Amino acid sequence: MKKTLLIAIAFFSLGALAKADNFMVFGSRAAQNPTDILDWTQLCAASVTTPISTPQLVSTFEGNFALVGNINRSSFLRVDEGNGWTGNFDYGESLVWTGNSNFGVAGLGPFAIELANPVGSVGFEIQAHLYGPFAAEVALFDPSLNPLGSFSFSGVSNNLENGSALFIGLGDTTGVDIGRIIIDTNSGKPSSNHDFAIDDPSFTYTTATTPEPGSILLLGSGLLGLAGALRRKTRL
């Protein structure tokens, strides 16, 4: 519990520690105009009974690698809209879900994406599990774990299944610096904090990238290193 609390404190304190990078917000995937996407179906078939351990090594369509998972190292789920998850996403859309104890996977976010190659922008749709208003929080880091900025967005969660899930798109206008992304939600009710799903995230790479073995090996510390960095920053 103490460890989770430290991470939460660090997450919501990142704004004061951020570097001087400037960001623009995209209201849609089309506005983001990404060059690559990470498809969650590579993890496994949709299921609310098969826990996925943290971290998981995944790759984008263009072969760029990333580590993903809950920051507290707990398991998460792979679901589809209409199959394991009923909400605002388009029907059949592939999702990851931070976890829910009702399905035997008690893991909760924040959820992290750690990239082998930095990007200029990131975009994804998000929805909290509990229906009603929620706040989505996103923290961005450079590849050296220096915080770039933290952002808050307001959304409403329901079961329309019409593609109206909140889209969050952030572009770094200062440079191609985004190496780590931490995502969280808060509906104002402690029992539902960190319980959310996101669709396939999209990215902007300025040039075609070929992952080097060294960059993949650097992900070995992965989410564990990121959690440690967050704890260290709470002591500043």
Strand 76-81 to 84-85 pairing: parallel
| Pairwise CA distance, residues 78 & 96, whole Å | 5
Please provide the distance, in angstroms rounded to a whole number, between the alpha carbons at the two ends of the chain: 21
Is 201 within 8 Å of 153 (Cβ atoms)? no
DSSP for 138-189, written as a single string: EEEE-TTS-EEEEEEEEEEE----SS-SEEEEEEESS-S-EEEEEEEEE-S-
Region at 96 (left for phi over 0; alpha for psi -120 to 50; beta for the rest): beta
Q: Please give the structure tokens belonging to residue 195.
A: 């319980």
Q: Given this model, what pLDDT does residue 29 score?
A: 97
8 Å CB contact between 179 and 141:
yes
Inter-residue contact 121 to 171 (CB < 8 Å)? yes
The predicted structure's pLDDT at residue 101: 77
3-state secondary structure 57-113: EEECCCCCEEEEEECCCCCEEEEEECEEECCCCCCCCEEEECCEHHHCECCCCCEEE
- pLDDT tens sequence across 144-173: 889 999 999 999 999 999 999 999 999 999
* pTM for the model: 0.83
Q: How many domains does the chain have?
A: 1
**Sheet of strand 56-59: strand arrangement:** 56-59, 65-70, 111-119, 178-186, 132-141, 147-157
Instruction: Determine the pLDDT at residue 103.
Output: 77
Q: Is 104 in contact with 131 (CB distance < 8 Å)?
A: no
Structure tokens at 182: 């931490």
pLDDT at 84: 92
Domain containing 90: what range? 2-234
* pLDDT beneath 50, residues of the chain: 1-18, 213-218, 220, 224, 229-236
Residue 117: the pLDDT is 92
